[in-house]
Amino acid sequence: MLTCRAVWKKLAPLARASSTVCRQNVRRAGWNNARTPLCVPVAHMSTGPVGGGGDNLKYALLVGAAFVSGITYAVITLKGDQKRHVERMTEISSRKQKSASQIQTEPPAPLETILEAAAAPDAEAVAPSETAEPPPVDEPLAEASAEEAAAPLTDAGVEEAADSKPSLPSHAPYLLIGGGTASFAAARSIRARDPGAKVLIVTDEPDLPYMRPPLSKELWFSDDPSVTETLRFKQWNGKERSIYFQPPSFYVDAEELSGAENGGVAVLTGRKVVHMDVRGNKVKLDDDMEISYDKCLIATGGVPRNLQVIERAGEEVIKRTTVFRKIDDFKSLDKVSRNTQSITIIGGGFLGSELACALGRRSTETGLEVIQMFPEKGNMGKVLPEYLSNWTTEKVKKEGVKVIREAVVKSVSFKDDKLEIKLKDGRVVRTDHIVAAVGLEPNVDLAKSAGLEVDSDFGGYRVNAELQARSNIWVVSKNPVSEYRSCLGVLFVLQMLCIMLCGHSAPFWSDTFLVHVAAERSSSAMCSSERMKSLAINVGRKNEKRA
């Protein structure tokens, strides 16, 4: 078939060209003799000698054979495709029937047989009564026999039901540990480059991957009274969306990931990786299940810190303290803010300042007293120059927040249904609830079992410039340490500067565009602290004029 087609492709142009040349020669000869022939001889239309028709016959046979072969090939191909389609549809329908039959319990026939066997001792027990002989004492009663017969049936039914349940995948080509923004972004990038990739995300949280920034910003400014249930907010462009990156329909069930033909992203919620075997390329979950992988990403983020004076203060103090990090923390703090008179936020970083502004806005409506205290001279004093720190502190005060600067907590106690916070300079603050926003500790629990290096100064995983800890293990976590850390840290600070100085009461992430452009054009220059300070001051002045 392929040979005929190739011959046809080679001979057809030659035949057309030769026929055209013959016609042109005959017409040219007729014009030269001052007459046009009424018909063109067939012999002159051929490339063979005049009067010979053998080559034309061969050519006609060759064309006919190629045509017949093409038709035959098309018919065979269409029939094969139709047959494969029917087989595929049959396989899908049989798969559904098979899964439905696996859920069913044992058929009734074996059950009747077992019950008849269980009732057999009753007949034996009745027979001695007819002969007036007492039954033996050691003879088991009919009820006991029925229970003994039912016991193995129940065990078998449970085992069969357990076997019929789909099992979790034992292997994942791409394993992502952690269910935060980094894991979702990695899964999306992997699928963009490999549409058939199978990605498994393992997270110890009960929720699908979601955005954490709105928990301390946009959700607090929503007018919807049921925002704690819907978790929807308005973006800077006015459009409303959920904090979840994608709806549940976007993800593949973890049990079906191995058999997914087109791949997909599956999420194991409520599971924690407790051990990592780097040499064996596998991990162990908290339920002793093992999952092997080809490539792995550690994106476990950080664990919120708490003050030691609070941890040592007792159960009553800990019960009235919120360590803000997850969706449940947002819901509980929202409930507390509606049913209490005063809240004190300890910490002057990004999270503490954002929560202070959010709760301060609510204080104008409910009369809630919001206090923020920190050991620095101003808000975000550890990352901002003094000029910008003072400017930010004034913005927080305008939201109705009482700011206590240079406040170092000495002790916390519970007296007369109030929390009493004593500072080292002798000041005392009485409040109903405490929010501890004093930073994060890098989550490096897997470092010991995996044998990964942890930096002694910053506490994060040690990685190379490509964020690799091993050849097939990457780390995107809190404070990953590499030789490029200084430049990355400066870029992060500049992004946060534009966020906080954009002129809005609630910061928006879109205002980091200026910093991205500046970073791309002068990345080497931004590694200098003087360059960072001058750029930050200029951005602050520009946004102050805009406000």
What DSSP line would sit under 425-462, residue for residue?
A: TS-EEEESEEEE---EEE--THHHHHT--B-TTT-SBB
Q: What angle do CA 251, 253, 258 make, to 5 degrees?
A: 110
pLDDT at 42: 46
- The pLDDT, as a whole number, for residue 68 is 87
Angle value at C-alpha 472, between 469 and 475, nearest 5 degrees: 40
| Range scoring the smallest mean pLDDT among 304-308, 343-347, 531-535 | 531-535
pLDDT at site 389: 93
pLDDT score of 428 more than 90: yes
Question: What mean pLDDT do residues 479-491 have?
Answer: 48
Answer whether residue 133 shows pLDDT above 80.
Answer: no
Q: How far is CA 183 from CA 39, 178, 201, 417, 452, in A?
A: 80, 6, 7, 43, 19
Q: pTM score, two decimals?
A: 0.61
The upper half-sphere exposure of residue 528, i.e. CA atoms within 13 Å in the direction of its Cβ, equals 7
pLDDT at 178 over 90: yes
pLDDT value at position 407? 94
What value does the mean pLDDT take over residues 324-353? Answer: 94
- What are 151-165's pLDDT values in tens digits? 444 444 444 444 444
Give the chain's radius of gyration (CA, Å): 39
pLDDT range class, residue 355, cuts 50, 70, 90? very high
CA atoms within 13 A on the CB side of 106: 16
Quick one: pLDDT at residue 202? 96
Q: What is the rounded CA–CA span in Å between residue 277 and residue 290?
A: 10
481 DSSP assignment = B
Q: What's the rounded Cα separation, in Å, for the pair 168 and 289?
A: 9
Write out the residue limits of the CATH 3.50.50.60 domain(s) in the chain. 167-209+245-301+443-503, 305-440
Does 291 or 1 have the greater pLDDT score?
Answer: 291
Q: Give dist(CA 511, CA 496) in Å, integer.
A: 9
Specify the residue for token string 């099992």.
167
Mean pLDDT score, 517-533: 36
- Give the pLDDT of residue 125: 37
DSSP structural state of residue 389: H
Report the chain's mean pLDDT, rounded to a whole number. 74
The pLDDT of residue 342 is above 60: yes
Half-sphere exposure of 251 toward its Cβ, with a 13 Å CA cutoff?
Answer: 22
Q: Report the pLDDT value the prediction gives residue 507, as an integer from 0 to 100.
A: 38
The pLDDT value given to residue 479: 57
Whether residue 145 is predicted with pLDDT greater than 60 in this model: the reply is no
SS3 527: helix
* pLDDT score recorded for residue 500: 41
Mean pLDDT of 115-125: 41
The architecture CATH gives domain 305-440: 3-Layer(bba) Sandwich (3.50)
CA atoms within 13 A on the CB side of 338: 9
- 345 has pLDDT over 90: yes
pLDDT at 337 exceeding the cut of 70: yes
Q: Is residue 547 very low, low, confident or very high in pLDDT (cuts 50, 70, 90)?
A: very low
114 or 154, greater pLDDT: 154
Angle subtended at Cα 159 by Cα 158 and Cα 165, rounded to the nearest 5 degrees: 90
Share of the chain above pLDDT 90, in %: 44
Q: Residues of 195-215 as b/e, b for ≥16 C-beta within 10 angstroms?
A: eebbbbbbbbbebbbbbbbbb
The residue among 97 and 394 whose pLDDT is bigger is 394
Q: Which of these, 196, 218, 509, lies nearest to 357 by C-alpha position?
A: 218
Tokens of 446: 């897997």
Give the model's pLDDT for residue 26.
Answer: 53
For 220, which DSSP code? Answer: G
Which residues, listed in sequence order, are joined to residue 420 by a DSSP beta bridge?
413, 430
Q: Is 61 left (phi over 0), alpha (psi -120 to 50) or beta?
A: alpha
167-209+245-301+443-503 belongs to which homologous superfamily? Answer: FAD/NAD(P)-binding domain (3.50.50.60)
Please determine, for residue 352, whether its predicted confidence score (pLDDT) is greater than 90.
Answer: yes
Percent of the chain residues past pLDDT 70, beyond the cut: 63
CA gap 353, 317 in Å, rounded: 22
For 103-112, 258-267, 396-405, 420-429, which range has the lowest pLDDT when averaged over its residues? 103-112
Residues 6+ apart with CB under 8 A from 70: 5
